[in-house]
Amino acid sequence: MRWIKWVVLSGFLLWNYFGVQAQEQWGLRLGATSGVNGLALNPASSLSNPFDVDFNLLSNYSFLETNYAFFRNSSILGLGLDLGNLEVVTSIKYDKEPQAYPHAVIFDFVDDGRKRYLFGAAALTGPSALFHLPGGHTLGWVVRGRLVMSGQNVPNNLSYLRYDRRPDLDPFPVHRWEMSIQTLSEVGLHYGHQWETATGTFNAALTAKYLSGYEGFYFENNRDLLAYTKVTGDTIAAEKMDLKFGYTRSNLGAPPFHLVRNGAGWGADLGVEWTWDGDFDPYQWKLGVSLLDLGAIRYSKNAVQHHAVSSKPVVLPNGDYDFIQSPEDLDQMVRLFSYQTLGDSAASFVANEFRLWMPMALSVQAEYGLFPFLWVHGALVQRIPLPGISTERGNSILFAPRFERRWIAAGLPLTIYNLEQVRVGAFLRVGPLVVGTDHFPAFFIPGKLSGGDFYLSIHWPFNLSAGGGIANRPAKGKKGNVKCYSF
């Protein structure tokens, strides 16, 4: 199963390239002062922002997490400091001859009963802004470039160690699974409105996004099969086959790579929030519900889609694919695959386009103010399965205390990721600068390193006048004005 190992290793390379960063970036999304960055968790959070204007100069994140493979006894900082002399060896080689690799980093594979997954994301948010207008309205725009990738429900029988140790001619089942990767940009226009209630406010907002797709890839196994067989080595046979895949071809050649727009689509984030008055302003309780990344991209330029269906037994000799060294060989590999499975090198081709859905999710958020400077947050992000091919996100459950004063804020988010892994994070805001991670120990404590994250933002929330800002407006049922932050 050399190709699975190649996919995971490629993911780790992407992770290093974009700068190991986060899935939900809680330090950017939480609290009334999150501004432009908070729109990605719930667009309605804009209405409880206590500033007339929030201007985002630059925000950056990326993220990778898998339960397929890991680095033994490693940390992100340790790997980064040794990057120039980094020697990586698989556990298969190291365990057989450890004395030959005295200073190597060991790349190992998980061997348990779980299904495998690989989730990754990266984004760069450029100059974006959010404005409070009279009458309880908000307007804004968001400009962002993104990379998203996912492989979900990968059969445990395809785990590297489990497959490598399997005896020849021993049949095993493989159920349906899929994976996909997209690079895209989005230009979003935001609008929100706030209504007063007897106990606080009700907020509703929308961010409508025009999506441009650059590179896309997907693979889908459409059929549950009961009789896959490892014939010998990495040669595999199947009783029947139903595989579907597509990819863009604009950057399959040798570097340098070029940014080519190969697709387009529309997307949206929708959200509502309720706030309740309490012992201090602007509110003490807040509850939000949002629908994130609703939309899809149709790749119709430099794109191909293939579908290989066979009701007869299929044998794929791994040695026939040893020529694959780079993306340049992908088209040749597909032609060979079509010939071996369908008897014709062009038989699998079906179209010059394909569609990929965005990583849609439902999110519920809640926060409570213990004191004017201390808040407790909870959140759930649950992916929504779609009938077509989608780039999915992992599920997350959050609990986070947050300390906040005028020039400084800090928090310690505790995340249960994909209902499997518990992550302890940390974030800090000093003036307009926010830095953080949702997996703090992975940076400094050597251990089983299967993912990591870090995020960074520079944004300025401010009021247009000394008496401006929703935080300086008299609260319903209360006297006087509320002091607001000012940068």
What pLDDT, on a 0 to 100 scale, did the predictor assign at position 232? 74
What pLDDT, on a 0 to 100 scale, did the predictor assign at position 407? 84
Q: Judging by beta carbons within 10 Å of its beta carbon (0-12, 13-18, 19+), is residue 169 exposed, middle or buried? A: exposed
Q: Judging by beta carbons within 10 Å of its beta carbon (0-12, 13-18, 19+), is residue 335 exposed, middle or buried? A: middle
Residue 235: C-alpha distances to residues 162, 168, 214, 326, 370 (Å): 15, 10, 34, 21, 61
For residue 82 the two structure tokens come to 């040794």
Q: Which percentage of the chain shows pLDDT scores above 70? A: 90
Strand ranges (E), 361-432: 361-371, 374-383, 396-404, 408-411, 414-417, 421-424, 426-430
> Rounded to an integer, what distance in angstroms lies between the CA atom of residue 221 and that of residue 70?
25
What lies within 8 Å, CB to CB, of 478 at 6+ separation is 277, 281
> Rounded to an integer, what distance in angstroms lies between the CA atom of residue 431 and that of residue 408?
6
pLDDT tens sequence across 396-411: 999 999 999 878 999 9
SS3 state of residue 283: coil
> Rounded to an integer, what distance in angstroms lies between the CA atom of residue 151 and that of residue 115?
10
Cβ atoms of 365 and 41 closer than 8 Å: yes
In the predicted model, what is the mean pLDDT of the chain? Answer: 85
Which regions of the chain are under pLDDT 70? 1-23, 233-234, 466-487
Q: What radius of gyration do the chain's Cα atoms show?
A: 25
What pLDDT, on a 0 to 100 scale, did the predictor assign at position 79? 85
Cβ atoms of 460 and 432 closer than 8 Å: yes
What pLDDT, on a 0 to 100 scale, did the predictor assign at position 314? 85
**For the whole model, what pTM was predicted?**
0.86
